[in-house]
Amino acid sequence: MDFSRILMNWYRDNHRDLPWRRTRNPYSIWLSEVILQQTRVEQGMPYWYKFMDAFPSVIDLANADEKEVLRLWQGLGYYSRARNLQAAAQSIRDNYQGVFPKEYEQIKALKGVGDYTAAAIGSIAFNLPHAVVDGNVYRFLSRLFGIDTAIDSSQGKKEFTILANELLDKNQPGLFNQAMMEFGAMNCKPANPICNNCPFLDYCVALKSKSIQNYPYKAKKTKTRNRFFDFLIFTDETHVLIERRSDKDIWQGLYQFPLIESDSMNKAEWDLIIPDLGNYLEIDNAQLVKNSHVVKHILSHQVLYAKFWWIKTDDLLQISNNALIRVPWQKIDDFGMPQLIVKYLESHNN
């Protein structure tokens, strides 16, 4: 099988025209790779444009206010990606005079950049002969060659990396890597792969053995954690209180309404909220206006159950302090907030 020729022919006829494929600028490619980790192309593209617009160069990103970076990232989730992106930009500014490093090991040493991203940037921007191995590549290669080594084991990672590097077209590594990922994303898809129109049809072990659904093989099932959030929306006619999340946890650096987290269930009744309110204000000065149903929000390894309590008070000025910021409702969009809260507010306003 002339693997590279078959793959490149398919790519020539079928690839999507994406803006970061029209450039060899390592900064633009890096940005697209980080945005597209755990994010679909359709969802990620507006963010790529937004970032390129706000921070056209690595120096612009390095010098930006972190709050602004997180605000623009709002909705993409995995906020550590945005923080790492900026930390890496600052290291390029400080250690490489703002010029993106060209060596694989230097690229890989940047914060948040692993084997996959380093191979993608290195091959596409600088023609470095390193094969990418992402979820698309694991799936495609495991099916085509019938490999049942677990992809979440170190042995699996090693095996697939060796195979992908053996297959890599060293004359055009960047194009080849893009073709591998595109083929996995568009043809050898997780569900309903297009086998009847696949150029590898005659060679595919999984297809011949009617076992496509068994690939790629994973050893561990990911555990999911349930969390229960009650948000307190302290508001008067015009303002509301918010706080910045500083702990090393989901949404670090983003803003939220004051939060009570519980171990097992959301607070069901106003009476159960009252003891917590004492931390903020005199109970006599608080009036429950309404509360929401429980809103479910799914993250990759966590399921959040959130409830919003609208509490009217004339004491906002008094309870705002260093941790709690009093902001006008009209300005709330200036603060990067988790998607869970943004969506709730949108549905509430409609």
Annotation says 103 is catalytic: no
Which listed residue (188, 273, 277, 295) binds ligand SF4 by CB under 6 A?
188
- In the complex, minimum distance from the CB of residue 203 to ligand SF4, in angstroms, rounded to a whole number: 8
Contact segment (CB under 6 A) with ligand SF4 among 1-9, 117-125, 185-193, 225-233 equals 185-193
Q: Establish if 272 lies at the interface with ligand SF4 (CB under 6 A).
A: no
Token couple for 183? 């083929």
Alpha-carbon distance of 45 to 57, in angstroms, equals 17
The helix (H) or strand (E) run that includes residue 34 is: helix 26-35
- Bridge-based pairing state of the strands 324-328 and 239-244: antiparallel
Q: Which stretch binds ligand SF4 (CB under 6 A): 74-82, 188-196, 265-273, 323-331?
A: 188-196
Compute the least distance from the CB of residue 142 to ligand SF4, in Å.
9
Toward ligand SF4, which CB reaches closer, 69 or 188?
Answer: 188
35/212 with CB nearer ligand SF4: 212
Residues 6+ apart with CB under 8 A from 172: 8, 127
Minimum gap (Å) between residue 144 Cβ and ligand SF4: 5
In the chain, which ranges are E strands?
225-235, 239-244, 255-256, 259-262, 287-291, 295-298, 302-312, 324-328
**Could you say whether residue 206 binds ligand SF4 (CB under 6 A)?**
yes
The smaller minimum CB distance to ligand SF4, of residues 191 and 317, is found at: 191
- What is the DSSP code (8-state) at residue 19? G
133 and 115 Cβ atoms separated by less than 8 Å: yes
Q: Does 253 bind ligand SF4 (CB under 6 A)?
A: no
Q: Which residues pair with 288 in a beta bridge?
A: 311
Report the b/e string of 339-348 with b at 16+ CB within 10 A.
ebbeebbeee
Taking the complex as a whole, the smallest distance from the CB of residue 170 to ligand SF4 amounts, in Å, to 23
One-letter amino acid of 28: S
Position 144 contacts ligand SF4 (CB under 6 A): yes
Give the one residue of 173, 193, 253, 338 binding ligand SF4; rule: CB under 6 A.
193
| DSSP bridge partners of 261 | 229
Contacts of 15 (CB under 8 A, 6+ apart): 21, 178, 179, 182, 186
Q: Does 143 sit near ligand SF4 (CB under 6 A)?
A: yes
Residues annotated as part of the active site: 33
Residues contributing to the site for ligand SF4 (CB under 6 A): 140, 143-144, 187-188, 193-195, 198, 200-201, 204, 206-207, 212
